[in-house]
């Protein structure tokens, strides 16, 4: 048994009795900046290499938001080199999460668009607070951008081809109850029961022998993981050429303006 508390600027990590909890706390909206993702990957790697740690629960320390997804400022008005570094980090985060040997549980205690939804999708189990104000989905199309193929593959593996096709084309953000209805989240609970439920689910999954569970998980996810590994550099080049287009930059600037106006 181990117990450790690691506190970073963005990720608060508590680890005891074989299960770690990663709390996102990068106000105001836990956006996935390059710094956040880097710290996230380092924390995850530590846990992965710690043989006493068998599971990790992801949740938010910021009220009403799980994670707002990729930080748009990292994709706007930056250099080609920066885009490459950022996208490689996003890929790395996904590869580590989707391929994790640990049991991963998302305790979604707020809205979770785009990259926030992706984090939840990579987990073994998704529990969401039963609040109609919280929504979740891969809404990239709403911003005029396109989720990469590995976001799509992860989504299809959870909700199936038809639901994914419709939801991705419409850039839908699904209220919690709707997300639960078609399996984007596995379970809804009142906010005050969330951590208790996450711990119970974790215990259920940890009751299985690690090696059998890990081999099974790997068997289920290998095809999709391998696809990105095989096309990683190509995917980075695609991202750079897409995001560098003036029309896309304009779309992102407009979206950020809209967000600012919404706040004030």
Given the rule CB under 8 A, which residues bind a copy of itself?
124-125, 140-147, 149, 152, 156-162, 164-166, 168-171, 183, 186, 204-205, 208-209, 211-213, 215-217, 219-221, 247, 251
What backbone torsions phi and psi does residue 148 show, to the nearest 5 degrees? -70, 165
Q: Of 79, 65, 78, 76, whose CA–CA distance to 31 is shortest?
A: 65
CA angle (185 as vertex; 231, 60 as ends), nearest 5? 85
**Rounded-to-5 percentages of helix, strand, coil across the chain:** 55, 20, 25
Name the active-site residue from 34, 39, 44, 139.
139
CA distance 123 to 80: 31
Q: What is the nearest approach in angstroms of a copy of itself to the Cβ of residue 212?
A: 4
Q: What is the nearest approach in angstroms of a copy of itself to the Cβ of residue 249?
A: 13
Catalytic site includes residue 70: yes
Q: What is the nearest approach in angstroms of a copy of itself to the Cβ of residue 12?
A: 28
Task: Decide whether 9 or 204 has the Cβ nearer to a copy of itself.
Answer: 204
Name the active-site residue from 32, 34, 70, 118.
70
Task: Decide whether 157 or 195 has the Cβ nearer to a copy of itself.
Answer: 157
Task: Decide whether 34 or 90 has the Cβ nearer to a copy of itself.
Answer: 90
Q: What is the nearest approach in angstroms of a copy of itself to the Cβ of residue 217?
A: 6
Task: Decide whether 92 or 186 has the Cβ nearer to a copy of itself.
Answer: 186
Task: Decide whether 2 or 254 has the Cβ nearer to a copy of itself.
Answer: 254
Task: Decide whether 56 or 164 has the Cβ nearer to a copy of itself.
Answer: 164
Q: What is the nearest approach in angstroms of a copy of itself to the Cβ of residue 164?
A: 7
Catalytic site includes residue 115: yes
Name the active-site residue from 18, 69, 110, 115.
115
Residues 6+ apart with CB under 8 A from 127: 105, 106, 107, 108, 185, 186, 187, 188, 189, 194, 197, 198, 201
Inter-CA distances, 100 with 55, 133, 135, Å: 9, 31, 26
Catalytic site includes residue 99: no
Q: How far apart are the first and last CA of the chain?
A: 48
Q: What is the nearest approach in angstroms of a copy of itself to the Cβ of residue 146?
A: 5
Residues 6+ apart with CB under 8 A from 241: none
Residue 47 is encoded by which pair of tokens? 């846990």
Q: Taking a C-beta distance cutoff of 8 angstroms, is the pair 106, 119 a contact?
A: yes
Name the active-site residue from 18, 34, 55, 140.
140
CA distance 24 to 4: 17
Catalytically annotated residues = 70, 115, 139-140
């Amino acid at each position: 048994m181990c117990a450790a508390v690691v506190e970073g600027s963005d990720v608060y990590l508590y680890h005891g009795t074989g299960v770690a909890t990663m709390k996102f706390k990068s106000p105001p909206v836990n956006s996935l900046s390059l710094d956040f993702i880097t710290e996230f990957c380092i924390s995850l790697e530590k846990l992965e290499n710690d043989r006493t740690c068998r599971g990790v629960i992801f949740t938010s320390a910021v009220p009403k938001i799980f994670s707002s997804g990729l930080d748009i400022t990292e994709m706007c008005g930056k250099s080609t080199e920066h885009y490459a570094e950022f996208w490689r980090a996003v890929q790395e985060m996904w590869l580590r999460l989707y391929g994790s040997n640990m049991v991963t549980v998302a305790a979604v205690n707020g809205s979770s668009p785009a990259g926030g939804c992706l984090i939840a999708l990579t987990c073994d189990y998704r529990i969401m607070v039963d609040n109609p104000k919280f929504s979740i989905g891969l809404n990239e199309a709403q911003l005029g951008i396109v989720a990469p193929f590995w976001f799509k593959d992860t989504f299809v593996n959870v909700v199936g081809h038809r639901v994914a096709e419709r939801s991705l084309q419409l850039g839908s953000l699904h209220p919690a109850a709707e997300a639960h209805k078609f399996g984007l989240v596995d379970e809804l609970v009142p906010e005050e029961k969330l951590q208790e439920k996450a711990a119970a689910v974790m215990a259920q999954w940890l009751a299985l022998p690690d090696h059998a569970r890990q081999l099974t998980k790997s068997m289920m996810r290998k095809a999709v993981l391998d696809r990105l590994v095989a096309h990683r550099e190509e995917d980075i080049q695609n991202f750079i050429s897409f995001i560098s287009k003036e029309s896309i930059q304009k779309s992102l600037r407009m979206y950020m303006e809209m967000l600012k106006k919404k706040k004030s």
